[in-house]
Amino acid sequence: MKRSLLLAAGICHLVSTVSADWTHYRGPGAHGVSSEKMPALPAGGPQQIWTAKVGTGTSSVTVSGERVFTMGNTDGKDVVWCLNAKTGSVVWKHEYPLDLDKRMFEGGTAATPTLDGNRVYTVSHQGDLFCLDATTGKPVWAKHYQKDFGGKRPQWGFAGSPTVEGNLLLLEVGGNGASTVALDKATGATVWKSGNDAAGYASPVVATIAGKRTVVMFKAEHVVGLDLAGRELWRTPWKTSYDVNAATPMVSGDKVFVSSGYGSGGALFEIGAGGATERWRNKGMKAQMNTPALFQGHVYGIDGQAGPGSPLTCLDLATGATKWLEKSVGGGAAVVADEKLICLTEKGELVIALASPSGFKALSRTQVLGKRCWVQPTYAAGRIFCRNNEGDLVALELK
Torsion of CA 226, 291, 203, 213, to 10 degrees: -30
Domain of 394: which CATH number? 2.130.10.10
Q: Contact, 19 vs 338, CB < 8 A?
A: no
The answer to the question of residue 147 being in a domain is no
Our measurement of the distance from residue 293's CA atom to the centroid of its chain's CA atoms, rounded to an integer in Å, reads 10
The band of 29, judged by pLDDT with boundaries at 50, 70 and 90, is: confident
Distances from the Cα of 198 to the Cα of 103, 224, 240, 399, angstroms: 19, 12, 13, 45
Q: What are phi and psi of 73, to 5 degrees?
A: -115, 130
The total domain count for the chain is 1
396 part of a folded domain: yes
What separation in angstroms does the CA of 384 have from each of 38, 256, 290, 299?
Answer: 10, 28, 18, 21
- Of 307, 316, 318, give the one whose Cα is nearest residue 261: 307
Q: Does residue 22 belong to any structural domain of this protein?
A: no
Q: How many CB atoms lie within 10 A of CB 119?
A: 18
Residue partners of 260: CB distance under 8 A and separation at least 6: 238, 240, 244, 245, 246, 247, 266, 286, 287, 288
63 domain-assigned: no
Please report the pLDDT score of residue 6 as a whole number: 37
State the chain's mean pLDDT as an integer: 94
Rounded to an integer, what distance in angstroms lies between the CA atom of residue 271 and that of residue 286?
A: 22
Per-residue pLDDT averaged across 30-58, rounded?
94
CA atoms within 13 A on the CB side of 181: 30
Number of Cβ within 10 Å of residue 274's Cβ equals: 8
Closest by Cα among 326, 330, 328 to 345: 330
**Comparing 28 with 250, which gets the higher pLDDT?**
250
- pTM assigned to the model: 0.94
- What would the pLDDT profile of 273-284 be if each residue is shown by its tens digit? 999 999 999 999
Of the candidates 240, 246, 81, the one whose C-alpha atom is nearest the C-alpha of residue 159 is 246
Judged against a pLDDT cut of 70, whether residue 8 lies above it is answered with no
pLDDT of residue 399: 77
Domain that holds residue 386: 27-51+289-399
Report the C-alpha gap between 128 and 354 in whole angstroms.
39
Q: Is residue 325 part of a domain?
A: yes
pLDDT surpasses 80 at 11: no
Cβ–Cβ under 8 Å, residues 391 and 56? yes
| Mean pLDDT calculated for residue range 6-13 | 38
Kindly state whether residue 378 falls inside one of the protein's structural domains. yes
User: What percent of the chain lies above the pLDDT cut of 90?
Assistant: 91
Work out the average pLDDT over 302-331. 97
Among the listed residues 147, 134, 53, the one whose alpha carbon sits nearest the alpha carbon of residue 94: 134
DSSP string, 363-381: EEEEE---S---SPPEEET
pLDDT at 366 over 70: yes
Is residue 354 assigned to a domain? yes
- Per-residue model confidence as pLDDT tens digits over 70-86: 999 999 999 999 999 99
pLDDT 10s digits, 159-210: 999 999 999 999 999 999 999 999 999 999 999 999 999 999 999 999 999 9
Judge whether 83 lies within some domain. no
pLDDT at 18: 54
- Stretch 223-231: mean pLDDT, rounded? 98
pLDDT digits (tens, 9 = 90+) for 283-304: 999 999 999 999 999 999 999 9
What residue type is 336 in one-letter code?
Answer: V
